[in-house]
Structures are given as structure tokens and as C-alpha cells.
Structure 1
Amino acid sequence: MAGEEKTKSRFDDYSIRPVPKESRYGFYNIFLVFSSVYGAIAVIWAGGALGYELTFSQAILAVISGTIVLAILGALIAAVGSYSGLSTYVMWRFPLGRWGGKIAGLLLITITTGIGWYAVETWLFGIVMSEIFPNNPFFSVGMASIWGGILMIIMTYVGYRMLSFLSYFTIPFHIWLIGIGIAIVLALKGGMPAVFAASPAHETNLLYGISSVIGLYIAGTIISPDIARFAKSPKDASTAWISHIIFLYPFLILGGVAIVLVTGSYLITNAMLDLGMGIGVLLIIVFGQFIINTDNLYSGSLSLVNLYPIRREIASIINGVIGTAIAAYIGFTAGSSIVPFENFISLLGDFLPAMGGILIADFYVVKNFLTKMRNPHERYQFMPGNIYYNLNIAGVLALALGSIVGYFVSVGIPAINSLLTGFLSYIIIYYVFIKMGRKPEIFPYVYRGGDLK
């Protein structure tokens, strides 16, 4: 098959077919990969941003609230990835239909994670390099974004094996990084009383902080099946997700908050330099940005392959080139200003949670109670000869409603509003269709086997 040959190579990583049992890993490997690609340097950056806007007491409440939401949401979504063995975007063909899943994957993930997050992280890499080597044109924010992006594209070319390899020594670096930073804060800046007494430079409200905490991690939560599909069991996938986010996420983000609060520095990297942590620490930060951005580009490549059957590594190059160009543009225009980063994670918190709510509603409620598919191992499986659908009206409408509510409704927490609206509206719309004697899925097709097109 010509279409199948386009997507198959030694680096394909089962981009549009289930991961076979013999290629799956246990809890420890999945935990390490989750922790490395989702819990690394971007969390420390976000902690620094929160330290600029919240008191430490407010930050604790925001992080605890956001972590609980992300732990529950991610555990449920990761389990679906292990049950199905499918990437995030292929799974979306069930609640959104084949056409809807492809379009949503392109818009929500290729743009936000595969290109958007990748561009932001590449730009942050440029900021770090410009601080390590100031007044050097080759290490300016814009130029470092360009050559750094090229190196990240090369790493992503290999795929999950590269993520797995790097994860085994990335996590200790970041735990050590924040641990040393907190120890210095306690020793030189007056201890924890000074941290709790410090006032942020630009104070905002707690609800904004909670939404930012969720927004920072929501993209990774939604795309957790891209990693969880390699888990041997749903239990391994869910436990790995909960473990990494509960034990690592609060530690890293609150460490960033504490460091920025007591130093008064706007950027976490400047704050670390102010504490005398040295260039070696910044190099560790650079390494962390490389691995998390490798995952961003990896996930975006899976989304692009789902849209059009090309080889995954070629898709990573396409996304990487676009993302690197955007990062360079931000670097040359915004320089070291952290405002684009804050705006980006806030926007993710408005839009992306709706898709998580829809997926959970479809897999755990609609498939189980409305369509009577009791066995979770069978709910998201493509079986040759079975009829599937190109469009799911319930999913598309629920996604639109959840996104609109998350963006425009100012009452409450936007990320939670988006999540609950997507979840509830999908169930209600699907139920109404059934009561009318119809299904919300339209434009049927028969799956003939082989790679999914």
C-alpha cells in the first residue's frame, strides 16, 4: 500500500496503528518518561512566573488545586492510551470522528504543542543561552533559537527511544537543581519566613494562578496517551502519571516560586544566577529544555501523520522548521520578555481542557452506559470490517462549547469551566441524539485493516 509505505520506517513509532504488546514498557520507564518530558524545565519557568505574581501562600493553594485536577484528568486519559495503544490524535477519531479528529489534532495539538509549545521552549532556550554568553551575536536570543531548534529536530527524529534514553538521567538533574536553589534560599535569604513574607512584584488573583497552573500542564495532560500507549497496562499508565505529577510537579513549581520571590528577579534563570548557582546550573536547564521540546515535536509529528500519512520523522522536521522560525521571530522581537510565555500558558488553560473532558465523557460514560460497550479494552479499537464514522456531531459541538466557555466566561476558573463544559455537553448532546432515535455520528466508512488513514 502506497499510503502505508509513506508512514513506515524504523523511526515510525506506530504513529497510526496500536503499539503491540511486545513493544510496551512497565511502570518505571513510563514514570521516568512522563517526569522528564512533562515535569522538567517548563515547570520551573512557570514557577518563576507565578513567583512574580503570587505570594508563596497563594502559590501553594494554586499548585495544590491545579495538581489535583491534572492528576485526575491525566490518570483517566493515560489509561485510555494504554487500553487502546493509540496516539492521542488517532483516539480522537472516536469522540470527534475521523475528519473531526484530524482537524482537531492539527489545530489543538500541532499548533499548541507540536509547534506552539515547541516554539516557546526553543525561545526560552535562546534566552538561557543569551544569559550564559551575553553580548555574543551567535548566542543572542534569536540566533540561539535557530541553531537550538535545529539540534532539537535532530533528536526528535529518533522518537520514543530517544525520550526513554534521556529520561534516565534528566530527572535527577532537575530535582538537584531546585533542591540546591531552595537550600541556598533558606541559607542566605532568611529561610522560609522570608519566602512567606516576600511580596510579588506584580500581584494577581488566586483564580488566575490556578488557571495558569492547569494551563501550563494541560497540553501534556491531553497528549499523555502519546507516552501512555507504550505502557503494559492501564494501571501502569495511570499510576505513572499520578506519581510523577504529585511528587515532582509541586516541588519544581514551588521551588521556582520561592527562588523568584526572595530574589525579586523577573526570570528564573536570572534569579538562579543571583543566588550564585552558576553557569553549570543554566546548562542543566538547557538540557531539560532539549528533552521536553523533543517530546513537543514528537507529539506534533504524530498529529501531522494522523492528518496526512507521511513518515513520522519527516513530519517532525516540518513542524520543527515552522516552530523554530516562530521561536526566532519571538527572540528577535520580544527578546527576554517573559510575557509571551505567560500569555501562551493562559490561553492553553482556556481551550485545551474541553478536549480532555470530551475524551473522558466518551470513553468512560457514553461508551459504557449509552452504547453498552462494557469492556474498556474494546472501546477504542479499530477492527477490520467494522463500521466507523467520519464525523461525530456531539464531539464537535461539545469542543466548540467548551472552548468558548473557557475563553469568554470570566467567572470561576477558565480551565475548569472548559473541562466541565466539554464533559457535560458531550454526554447531554449524545443522549439527546439517542433519545431521538439517532446517532450523532455521521458519514460512515468501513475499516479494511492495516494502517489507519
Structure 2
Amino acid sequence: MAGVDYEHGVVPQDQRRGWMSIAAVWIAIGIDLSGAFLGAALGAGLSFSSALAATMLGSLLLGVLAMFCARVGAATGLSTAMISRAVFGRAGGIVLTLMMTLSLTGWFAVQAGFFGTNLQIATRELVGVDLPTAVFVAGGGILMMLTAIWGYRSISSLSNVAVPLLLILLAVGVVRSLGDGRSANLSDPVDATFTFGGAVSLVMGIFVLGAVSSPDMARWARTPRAAMAAAFVGFFFGNSIIIVVALVMTRALKQEEIMQMFFTVGMGLSAVVVLVLAQWTTNSTNVYSAALSFSSISNRIDRRITTVVLGVTGIVIAALGTDWFVSFISAMGTMIAPFGGVYLATYLVERGSTRFAVEAEHPTLHVLPMLAWAVGILVSLATTKPSDGLGLGLFTLTTIPALDGLLVAFAVQTLLTMAVRRGTEVAA
């Protein structure tokens, strides 16, 4: 069964797993260098208490969002791409699938670039060898791609080994960074460069694509309740752990480079282990979900071949440079989060129907969900301050633009669906 991931159908019940195994995958995904960079940025741009509160609130909201998205995946047994077809229709689903594929491949490139840059630094510090960054990008990218080729089972096995080791190493790093009286540095004043709402939005945005695409993993859960438990634990802790670790170490050591901070506290080899495991688990999932999405377009598309093609593409992009990190995660929060609101509303309103059945016939396009998605994107753009990322800053709702777009898209889709249903009943 290796390599068989049911991209065109439902995961059989005898292949499904308990909530702890799935939660471990999401925790492993959340512990990555992008979270470390965000934690360092928040540490330099907000007071410690505000940065910590923003991290906890953003991760809490993300965990709640992931719970509901995961329930849809477990209840239907479908991947995110298959769900998009049920929601948007055949053509509309392809549009969303291509966007998800592009976004996830972009994330793969960003993470591979982080991996290469930081492993180059670590290798130079440990053994004095200064190899080109592209060598590490290619080597790491291939390693991540190979795990993804074997599918969810391989990713789950890797996560079960990596998570305990990562948690131990990160905890030791925090304890050491706070030694020698450095804990007093946490309260040092800084010039605020983030708004609180903007910081919360970035915390959500860094993993919001994972929450919205959580059905890719949740469909492996034995029950919807198990999927929801796994999602909350996995996303809340997975998203917050690395951000908090980087935040504490940045403030305590007065540095912003995560690898250098581990060397400062005498954990150079541990830094390499953390780097390799964190990026390996996270990026394998990025290219896995990208390939899973794209291969759902047609039964003739092989997921494993697609994994290789997208993986190589991501490696090339990473080797060319990925300086667009903050803008990228802001754009993902803007574009992807509203989609979650649309399919959640569709599932809740129409869960008694056959719409999400694998064998269901779908029209070319469902117009109303596409309209709701577009409205959600526009609201996210309108409520995002230009200083916080891609946006216009025209007005404020929750102060968290990614959440604004999701909630508005959810509301619009719910109202439109109910209005059409009521109109149909009246006409009858």
C-alpha cells in the first residue's frame, strides 16, 4: 500500500489512525524556521508581553479554525482539492486547486531556502567548511521530496520520531538562553513596528494554509471527533511552540538569527538536528499536499511523479532566492483563509445532501461560493494595513485581516445559500 494515498477517493476505514498520530504530524509541521523567523521579528517589534499574547491568541484562533476544517475532512474522507470541487464545481475546483498547488509549492521553496541558508551557517560554524547555499538547498529539498513520494504514512512515521526530540532540544535551548541573568532582558523596551492585530494576523497567516488544507491529513482520522482533537492540539501547540521559543531566545540573547542563538548557548550540534528535523517534517508535507492537490485534477495524473516535478521546481526557486517571505505569508492569509470560510459554510448548510459524496456529479461552476470567496478576499485586503502586508487599510473589523476574510466569506456563503434555498421553496 506504500505510496497509495487515495487522492481520488476516500481513505478506507481500516487505514485510518488515532488522533495523537495525526496531531504529531501537525506539531511537526508547525515547528519550522518560518515560525522561528516570525518569533524573532515579533520579539524585535513588540513588547515581550504583547508578542506572547499575540502568539497565543493567533494560535488559539488557528486551532479553532483547524478543528472545524479538519472535521470536514474526516467526515467526508476527502482531500482539500476534492472538497474544493464539491464546493466550487469542476472548473471552479480546478482554479482553487491550482492556487493551492502554487501556494504550497511556494512554501516548499521558502522552507527549502531557509533550510539551505541556515544549514550553510551551521556547517561553517561546526566544521569550518563554507559550501554554496544551493548545495544544501538541493540536498535538503531532495530529502523532503523523497519522504513526500511515499505519502502520509511516511510523513507520520517521521513526525512520531521527530516531535519528541525537537521538543526536548527546544526546551533545553530556552532554559540555557535564560541563564546568567539574561531573563531580565525579556522586559527591555522596544520600538513597536507591529500592531497587535497585525501580529496576530501574521501568527495565523504563517500556518493558515495548513489549517485550510487540514482535510489532507484529517481524512486519515478514525472519527470526526478524533480529527478535531488532533487539529486543535496540533495547530495550537505546533504553531505557538517555535514562535515562543524564538521570541524568548531573541529577547534573552539579543540576537535574531535562530541558528546563531543555539551556537551562543553551546548547542551547535543540536541546532543542526533541530534545523534538519524541523524543515524535513514541514516541507515534506508542503510538497505532499501540493502534489495531492494537483493530482486530484485527473485520474491520469500520478501523485508521485507530480511530487518530483513540483519538488524540483521548488528547489530551483529556492536556489534563486526567496526574499519575499513576509509578503508571501500575508498574501496567503488574504487569499486562502476565505476559502476555508466558504467550504465550512457549504458543509454546515448542506451536510445532509450528497454534495460531498465521492461519486457526486458536479456542474462546471458553482457561482455563489466563488462570489463568497471573492468577497472574503476583498474584505481581507481592505482590512489589512499596508504596514502589515498586502492590503489597503480601509477599515477594521476584528483587527485580524485573515480572520476577517474567513468570517465574511462564511457569512456570505451561508446567507446566499439559505436565500437561494428559500427562494426555491417559495417558487415551488
TM-score w.r.t. structure 2 length? 0.89
Structure 2 Cα separation of the partners of residues 318 and 237 of structure 1: 30
Could you tell me which residue of structure 2 aligns to residue 367 of structure 1? 350
Q: Which amino acid letter does the alignment assign opposite residue 328 of structure 1?
A: A
How far residue 201 of structure 1 moved from its aligned partner, in angstroms, is 6.9
Who is 1:272 aligned against?
A: 262
Structure-1 separation of matches of 2:3 and 2:95 = 24
Q: Which of 137, 148, 156 in structure 2 is aligned with 1:156?
A: 148
Deviations 1:322-364 (A, max 9, x none): 1111101116xx5xxxxx3222222222221101111111111
SS in 2 for 1:19: coil
Return 45-54 or 154-163, whichever deviates more.
45-54
Residue 170 of structure 1 deviates from its aligned partner by 0.8
Match of 2:315 among 295, 299, 324: 324
- For residues 257 and 30 of structure 2, the distance between their equivalents in structure 1, rounded to whole angstroms, comes to 20
Q: Which segment drifts farther, 216-225 or 168-177?
A: 168-177
Cα drift, residue 187 of structure 1: 1.3
The equivalent of 1:144 in structure 2 is: 136
Secondary structure at 1:187's aligned position in 2?
A: coil
CA deviation digits over 1:58-102, x for unaligned, max 9?
112211221221111100110111111111110111221122112
Counterpart of 2:375?
401
Letter in structure 2 aligned against 1:145:
V
8 Å contact kept, 1:175–1:252? no
When residues 347 and 252 of structure 1 are mapped into structure 2, their CA distance, relative to the original with a 3 A threshold, is: same
| Partner of residue 243 from structure 1, selected from 233, 241, 248 | 233
Which residue number in structure 1 is paired with residue 330 of structure 2? 346
Matched with 2:119 is 129
Q: Deviations over 1:8-30 (max 9, x none)?
A: x8513101110011111112211
Counterparts of 2:309 and 2:46, CA distance in 1:
38
Letter in 1 for 2:350: K
Is 1:253 matched up with 2:243?
A: yes
Say yes or no: does 1:297 pair with 2:287: yes
2:410 corresponds to: 423
Query: What is residue 207 of structure 2 aligned with on the other side?
Result: 217
- What is the alpha-carbon distance in structure 2 between the residues aligned to residue 316 and residue 221 of structure 1? 21
Contact 1:129–1:139 under 8 Å retained in 2 = no
Shift of the alpha carbon at 1:189?
4.2
Aligned equivalent of 1:4: none
> What residue number does 1:188 align with?
180
Q: How far did residue 224 of structure 1 move? A: 0.8
- Secondary structure of 2:365 counterpart: strand
Q: What is the distance in 1 between the residues matched to 2:106 and 2:53?
A: 28
Contact 1:264 1:271 in 2 (8 A): no
Q: Distance in 2 between matches of 1:286 and 1:217?
A: 19
Q: Which moved more, 1:412-421 or 1:132-141?
A: 132-141
Q: Within 2, Cα distance between the matches of 1:306 and 1:137?
A: 44
Matches within 5 A, 1:11-160: 11-107=3-99, 109-113=100-104, 115-134=105-124, 139-160=131-152
Q: Counterparts of 2:364 and 2:50 in 1: how far apart (Å)?
A: 46
Select which of 343, 358, 361 maps to 1:382.
358
Q: How many residues align?
A: 409
Secondary structure of 2:362's match?
strand
1:379 is displaced (CA, Å) by 5.5
Compared CA separation, residues 425 and 240, structure 1 to 2 (3 A): same
TM-score (norm 1): 0.85
Q: Which residue of 2 aligns with 1:447?
A: none
Which stretches in structure 2 are left out of the alignment for 5+ residues? 384-392
The amino acid across from 2:101 in the alignment is T
Deviates more, 1:145-154 or 1:20-29: 145-154
Instruction: Give yes or no for contact 2:63–2:231 (8 Å, CA) kept in 1.
Output: yes
* CA distance in structure 1 between the partners assigned to 2:71 and 2:30 by the alignment: 17
- The separation in 2 between residues aligned to 1:424 and 1:205, in whole angstroms, is 26
1:274-316 Cα shifts (integer Å, max 9, x gaps) = 2332133223212210111000000000111012331110111
Per-residue displacement from partner, 1:135-166 (whole Å, max 9, x unpaired)? 98873323321232222222211111210110
Which stretches of structure 1, 4 residues or longer, exceed 6 Å deviation after superposition?
Answer: 135-138
Matched-pair identity in %: 28
2:363 alignment partner, SS class = strand
- Select 1:206's aligned residue among 173, 177, 196: 196
- Code of the residue aligned with 2:338 in structure 1: it is A
Q: Kindly state the Cα deviation for residue 248 of structure 1 after the two structures are TM-superposed.
A: 4.3
C-alpha change, 1:137 and 1:275, in structure 2 (3 Å) is: closer
Partner of residue 432, structure 1: 419
**How far apart, in 2, do the equivalents of 1:286 and 1:28 lie?**
23
1: CA distance between counterparts of 2:69 and 2:317?
30
Structure 1 residue 208, shift from structure 2 partner: 1.4
| Unpaired runs of at least 5, structure 1 | 1-8, 335-339, 439-453
Structure 1 residue matching 2:134: 3-state secondary structure: helix
Distance 1:157 1:382 in 2: 24
Other structure's SS at 2:321 match: helix
